[in-house]
Structure 1
Amino acid sequence: MSYHQDRLSTLPRGSAMKKLDFFATTMTGIEDIAAHEVKELLGCKVTPDIGKVFYKSDLDSVYILNVAARTLNKVMLNLCRSRFRDLDDIYRLSRGIDYSWLIDPDQSFAVRSERVGSHDFTSIDVSRVVGQAVIDSYLETSRVRLKVNLDSPDVEIYCLVRGDEFLMGVNLTGESLHKRRYRIYEHPAAIKPTLAAAMLFLSGWKGRGRLIDPMCGGATIPIEAAYIARNIAPNKSRRNYNFLKLKIFSCSEFMRSREQILKKEETRKPEVYGMEKYRFHLEGGMRNAEEAGVSGDIRFKLGDATVASDYPEECFDFFVVNPPYGIRMTPKRIKLERLYELFLSAVKEVSDNSILVLITAAKRKFRKALEKVDLEVLSYREVLYGHLNTTIFKCRT
């Protein structure tokens, strides 16, 4: 089955009404959550895939997702999705696309490629072949040989080879959206904001009730929780996007769309708490919250998550936490399974019919702790966190 789009040059320049094919990348394991978010933001049909979601929409969707999406990494214009047999097929597919409606003659480009599976070529080979195909296609349509700039291109073309599937798109985002601008303090085991947001969505948090991250570290989870509660766009302060270099997009339309998104912010004060055992990390988290503009929405407390008496006196509806996985723990510290057991016991003591969402790379140890404390597992899912296989558990206390 082929998804190849032979020619896209029929799009009127500057038109925001034409429906185009897009895909957005996310973490492997949370694609359904990302798909639901995109559907909520755009109101269109979204299809989840491995590490990405596909959708069809207008140019305005690019502005909306880059500013407001919480679980996405990059938004891409989908140029080609097809089965292939060899590099010759990849060249042919790439060569058959008209790039003149996207790239100006004086602009440079680069091809970034990923490869998953067993092949007799490398990702570098893919970039080389596609790069030549782009040059040849543009030379035919515009009589201009495009410049290549691998360090700082005007246009970045992304290619993914997975098994016998070839996917090609234009990176409309640039640097990944998970790099929030508020992270001025980096905790050594900080969770990605996109993953934190996915865990919050999974918990059912919408800003009502009380939520705590009892091992908050740099406060990523509490900050993202406050953002969700107040409908604050996570990338509202960002200005550097790749799509602004493309002639089919309008800076004025982007600013107009951004202003509409910012008007939807709410002023209500959510009940979000962050607790941390180590003062240095707690103070770092407080600085991050201030940078994020939500320091007044999060109540911070110095305390040990394994000690029930250290928790605030309030009853919590949601516990969302990224505990130690045992990777950086020294032999002198408490054993991981025992840490989980003490933590779950404390949570059970200070809660009543609450939701706990937790991520760990030590699935077996956490399951043993769950059995000892007797907490109900509502669901769990495997998530590829970088190169680390992790599991997100959703439990009822």
Structure 2
Amino acid sequence: MVCDNGHLTMQRIETDKYMSEQFEMIAKTFQGLEETLAEELTALGADNIEIGRRMVSFTGDKKMMYKANFCLRTAIRILKPIKHFTAKDADEVYEQIQAIPWEEYLDENKTFAIDAVVYSEEFRHSKFVSYKVKDAIADYFREKSGKRPSVRINKPDVLLNIHIAQTTCTLSLDSSGESLHRRGYRQEAVEAPLNEVLAAGMILMTGWRGECDLIDPMCGSGTIPIEAALIARNIAPGVFRKGFAFEKWTDFDSDLFDEIYNDDTQERDFEHKIYGYDNNPKAHEIAAYNIKAAGVSKDVTLKLQPFQQFEQPENKSVIITNPPYGERISTNDLLGLYQTIGERLKHAFVGNEAWVLSYRDECFDQIGLKASQKIPLFNGALECQFRKYEIFDGKYREFKTQEAEKEEGRDESAPYRDEIGKPHRDSEHKFRKEGERTYRRGSEYKSRKEEDNRYDSRSEENRTFRREREYKPRREGERPFRRERGGGYNARREEERTFRREGAERPRREGGKSFRREEGSFRRDERDSRRDDRERKPRGEFREKRDPKVPREYKGHREPRIPEPEKE
């Protein structure tokens, strides 16, 4: 017994020593979700977190690697680097790979596969790099024992990942195996379904954690409602998976992973509801099947309903949706769909906020609302935007003004709101009181305001008129000039007036008719006179107006042009 207890004690010490060892790991994700993934890793307890492009690096022990695969919602896969090196050609890659002690990771009876990601001018084909790595591993075992492990593309025992950026190479063990976006609850899918990792990232970016109702008016196969229910209840996304790649490693600790898998102390209750709507009966059926498979039927309510019938929810809610944007799914009236989205948000979602993911700017323009936040987000290869719309009862500036006045405990606008109808566009506007002047928009607003304050302090006899409003008496016989609509005098018109004031002839345009004044009347120049043989009826009761219902009679010298019928 003493020997057995001593053996168990030594084994536990060795396990604890191995568990305390920290190593580097890389979490891959979508471009745009890096910061959200870093926040998840911080909450999980990871160390040395650094954000990169489509990845976040961190350090931790074996338990952290298991938890990262099991708990992270925005990670696609978790890599464990085993070697960093530089290589200028394929031969150097072969030599560096063959120098690794592969018996620590593989044996002759296991299968392996290689996933290559290459961004380099020296290595133009990722498959060529994969073949070189495979040859190096096979030759290593053949030289050691005369046997070599086999390559299996589908579900290998060990999955390797090599990443090459120019001449910098990183060889890693893939601890996830199948991509982490494959949760395991999706039984069926509609055309072009939303990725589960992207859906979870969208929800986390909004800040929603189950504080109110959530609505997806175009839920498709139910990805957003299901991910929202898992987030609201804090259920780990890995509970539905059949397995991870690290379970086939030689150093896999099954007891440690069972402890992580069976720990449900972090789960919580959800008191609100999640609603999913769609107008496609087949999508509605698939969504109901997936929601039941995920075990969140009590939290998610589905309804077969088009977005045109969306009504104002009774409780405070948030909309998170991914409508079609015409790239993989075509609709008869794509822009009309986005017009409907904007119309329903304005009239049936007042006092709430909506988040919309889309790809085309012309689609966003049809919504007709100003986004308060725009987040670049990649949906695969499509560079999309995730936009936030705050829906207010009335105009945005009115809402902000009233909110600010409520915070200060006063509302100066109440006596004058009926008089002016809406607040001034300028942020420094004060509501106009009785007898107070109104100001025009523009760069002269502040100067005019200060000038009026200065005038009010002077006596009436000392006041002077402003330059723009200065009155100038007209000369004898001078015609009054009409002011331009924009406010100031037009420069070209001013030159013409100057000529007329001086008594000179008014400059006429090229080809224009000239006039000369004789005995107090204007007469047309003889060189410009033309014969007019048309007979005109005198003005008065003999000249009747044309009946608009009667077609106009053609009196030209040419035959009317009739378009020829189109040939088939």
- 1:173 partner amino acid: S
**How much does 1:225 deviate?**
0.3
**Residue 359 in 1 paired to residue 361 in 2?**
no
**How much does 1:382 deviate?**
3.5
* Number of aligned positions between the proteins: 376
- 1:325 partner amino acid: Y
Structure 2 unmatched runs, 5+: 1-13, 392-568
**How much does 1:353 deviate?**
4.6
**How much does 1:35 deviate?**
2.0
Q: What residue is the counterpart of 2:365 in the other structure?
A: 368
**Residue 327 in 1 paired to residue 296 in 2?**
no
Q: What residue is the counterpart of 2:554 in the other structure?
A: none
Which structure: greater strand fraction? 1
Aligned 1:278-317 pairs, distance under 5 A = 278-305=280-307, 307=308, 309-311=309-311, 313-317=313-317
**Residue 347 in 1 paired to residue 345 in 2?**
yes
Alpha-carbon distance between aligned partners in 2 of 1:329 and 1:136, rounded to the nearest angstrom: 48
**How much does 1:143 deviate?**
5.1
1:95/1:239 Cα in 2 relative to 1: closer, same or farther (>3 Å)? Answer: same
SS of residue matched to 1:236: helix
Q: Is the 8 A contact 2:29 2:54 kept in 1?
A: yes
Alpha-carbon distance between aligned partners in 2 of 1:115 and 1:208, rounded to the nearest angstrom: 43
Q: Deviations over 1:85-112 (max 9, x none)?
A: 2223323432343333222453232222
Q: What residue is the counterpart of 2:562 in the other structure?
A: none
Alpha-carbon distance between aligned partners in 1 of 2:69 and 2:329, rounded to the nearest angstrom: 36
Q: What residue is the counterpart of 2:110 in the other structure?
A: 107
Q: Is the 8 A contact 2:191 2:329 kept in 1?
A: no
- 2:355 partner amino acid: V
Alpha-carbon distance between aligned partners in 2 of 1:167 and 1:386, rounded to the nearest angstrom: 23
**Residue 379 in 1 paired to residue 382 in 2?**
no
1:330/1:106 Cα in 2 relative to 1: closer, same or farther (>3 Å)? Answer: closer
**How much does 1:304 deviate?**
2.0
Structure 1 unmatched runs, 5+: 1-11
Q: What residue is the counterpart of 1:254 in the other structure?
A: 257
**How much does 1:356 deviate?**
2.2
Q: Is the 8 A contact 2:312 2:349 kept in 1?
A: no
**How much does 1:393 deviate?**
2.2
Q: What residue is the counterpart of 1:391 in the other structure?
A: 385
**How much does 1:46 deviate?**
1.9
**How much does 1:203 deviate?**
0.8
**How much does 1:216 deviate?**
0.7
- 2:149 partner amino acid: K
- 2:232 partner amino acid: A
1:94/1:348 Cα in 2 relative to 1: closer, same or farther (>3 Å)? Answer: farther
Q: Cα RMSD between the aligned structures?
A: 2.4
**How much does 1:150 deviate?**
2.7
Residue among 275, 278, 296 paired with 1:276? 278
- 1:394 partner amino acid: K
Alpha-carbon distance between aligned partners in 1 of 2:239 and 2:41, rounded to the nearest angstrom: 17
**How much does 1:174 deviate?**
1.1
Residue among 230, 234, 238 paired with 2:233? 230
Aligned 1:142-161 pairs, distance under 5 A = 145-151=147-153, 152-161=155-164
Q: What residue is the counterpart of 1:9 in the other structure?
A: none
Q: TM-score, normalised by structure 2?
A: 0.62
Comparing 197-206 with 238-247, which one deviates more in the overlay?
A: 238-247
Q: What residue is the counterpart of 1:134 in the other structure?
A: 137
**How much does 1:173 deviate?**
1.0
Q: TM-score, normalised by structure 1?
A: 0.87
**How much does 1:63 deviate?**
1.6
Q: Is the 8 A contact 2:25 2:81 kept in 1?
A: yes
1:374/1:267 Cα in 2 relative to 1: closer, same or farther (>3 Å)? Answer: closer
Alpha-carbon distance between aligned partners in 2 of 1:330 and 1:177, rounded to the nearest angstrom: 29
Alpha-carbon distance between aligned partners in 2 of 1:13 and 1:102, rounded to the nearest angstrom: 18
Q: Which has the higher contact order (CA 8 A, sep 6+)?
A: 1
Alpha-carbon distance between aligned partners in 2 of 1:17 and 1:146, rounded to the nearest angstrom: 33
**Residue 63 in 1 paired to residue 60 in 2?**
no
SS of residue matched to 1:54: strand
Q: Name which one, 1 or 2, has greater alpha-carbon Rg.
A: 2
Alpha-carbon distance between aligned partners in 1 of 2:328 and 2:381, rounded to the nearest angstrom: 16
SS of residue matched to 1:53: strand
Alpha-carbon distance between aligned partners in 2 of 1:16 and 1:145, rounded to the nearest angstrom: 32
Q: Deviations over 1:199-249 (max 9, x none)?
A: 001111111112111101111101100000000111203232110111122
Q: Is the 8 A contact 1:13 1:247 kept in 2?
A: no
**How much does 1:327 deviate?**
2.8
Q: Deviations over 1:318-347 (max 9, x none)?
A: 21101011135557x21x233212202212
